Structure 1
């Protein structure tokens, strides 16, 4: 069914073995995993959902599962507690239909029900579309950067933190700021430029350009080398910005080829 039926979609908490198996199957299909170590155990989903975690699905009017997210209770080395969202997946036929937003919002409800006030998850920093969703749609912030997050090359990740019960977004105006005119030559590099605020003020900011489309980096040898260079520069840039105490608050498309992260110092009153 086409995404035009999005208003008929509903989100719910998964509870049955059949639902957990369907979610595991969707997860494997969307990510294209064909190795058993990357599969998802339905029993694990059930245990997580019963013990501080989440397993939520998005269904069509015909009860077809087209979206899924799951997570668990987390705690960092500083003792901060949060709900950690391990994955959210959307059927390819429903990309752009609001399925991901619906899944995340229901996962938020589940997390609040467990007493969690923040949610965290990670994403690949070269994926501009994911970044825009995390920062501009959900109003989360990129609070950390971890090279080789999953212990293997090519798994650098930005850690997103989402304040689940925050009434006012302290970065709302900055998320709408226009980035400088950056292009392919700037991919992965830091550019310092002030951001104009709607009230006429300005904000010191750092911008990091990335490909606007993941497909901008193909798999042939020359393009793969370019891909690796961009990732290496991006790793260096994000590591430096986080070390300076900056957080990511926006990812805005500049043109068909380039998007840019905006990094700023954390607003006063926002917990580190």
Structure 2
């Protein structure tokens, strides 16, 4: 399938489109390493691989400033799970530090959505660290994805637990932002544990996990793993996430209905 434009200009000094030139793939690889502070060669992106993905069911999209500089990048590939469900898997998105908080990440996801739909893929999946409340809010409450699985040591090394989310690419954009019932009062004692209320379950996490020492963070992860795994086994999905205060953020789990 040939490349085509998937512009997602948000009117704030940048626009998104698919990458098509080798130099763009190289620039995207460099941006990826810079944003995530990767110096080890094992984490490097290969420009040839990105080109092949983009031509064979995958995506490689960039956000460009008005002066033509690449300020954001996302890529993904066609995926299938053990049950045979097909989806577009978004492996990573990176936004230059100087342009974060301006909607670039959302524009990149929407550009990926357009590519995936053109390939005939109706859902998108990706993962993120479930202790990162800002990512949780963006993925679930802003985009409208839902949490469907907890994976321990996702990248086959310690401290890489990930929450798997699924995004229905055919759902109306108006359904993305979900209204939440008022959460109960939750605090540190509730981190990682289920609190049933309002026909669903609240699961609290620390707002700033980086402030915890390694042992405390590991304890929260194991509690969170048990709680989320139990929720998914009974058929729940995570539908939203929000910050309560400087100490605590919270996920909202509800019974799933036709989860993609």
Report the equivalent of 1:82. Answer: 87
Report the equivalent of 2:40. Answer: 35
Q: What is the CA distance between 1:244 and its match in structure 2?
A: 1.3
Residue by residue over 1:60-103, the C-alpha shift from the partner in whole angstroms, topping out at 9 and shown as x without a partner, is 10111111100001111111111000001111111211010010
Report the equivalent of 1:119. Answer: 124
Q: Out of 178, 193, 211, which is 1:189 matched to? A: 193
Change (3 A) 1:231 1:271: closer
Backbone CA RMSD of aligned residues: 1.7
Q: Out of 104, 108, 133, which is 2:109 matched to? A: 104
Q: What is the CA distance between 1:237 and its match in structure 2?
A: 1.1
SS at match of 1:7: coil
Q: How does 1:1-272 map to 2 (within 5 A)?
A: 7-167=12-172, 173=178, 175-194=179-198, 204-217=199-212, 223-267=213-257, 270-271=258-259
Q: What is the CA distance between 1:167 and its match in structure 2?
A: 2.6
For the 8 Å contact 1:179–1:252, the answer to whether it is kept is no
For the 8 Å contact 1:88–1:100, the answer to whether it is kept is yes
Q: How far, CA to CA, are the matches of 1:120 and 1:228 in structure 2?
A: 25
Unaligned runs of 5+ in 1: 195-203, 218-222
Unaligned runs of 5+ in 2: 1-9
Q: How far, CA to CA, are the matches of 1:177 and 1:60 in structure 2?
A: 39
Q: How far, CA to CA, are the matches of 1:176 and 1:101 in structure 2?
A: 21
For the 8 Å contact 1:6–1:98, the answer to whether it is kept is no
TM-score, normalised with respect to structure 1? 0.88
Q: How far, CA to CA, are the matches of 2:22 and 2:93 in structure 1?
A: 19
Q: How far, CA to CA, are the matches of 1:149 and 1:101 in structure 2?
A: 24
For the 8 Å contact 1:13–1:57, the answer to whether it is kept is yes
Residue by residue over 1:188-244, the C-alpha shift from the partner in whole angstroms, topping out at 9 and shown as x without a partner, is 1111111xxxxxxxxx11111111234333xxxxx2211111111111111111111
TM-score, normalised with respect to structure 2? 0.92
For the 8 Å contact 1:139–1:169, the answer to whether it is kept is no
Q: What is the CA distance between 1:176 and its match in structure 2?
A: 2.7
Deviates more, 1:224-233 or 1:11-20: 224-233
For the 8 Å contact 2:93–2:105, the answer to whether it is kept is yes
Q: How far, CA to CA, are the matches of 1:176 and 1:271 in structure 2?
A: 19
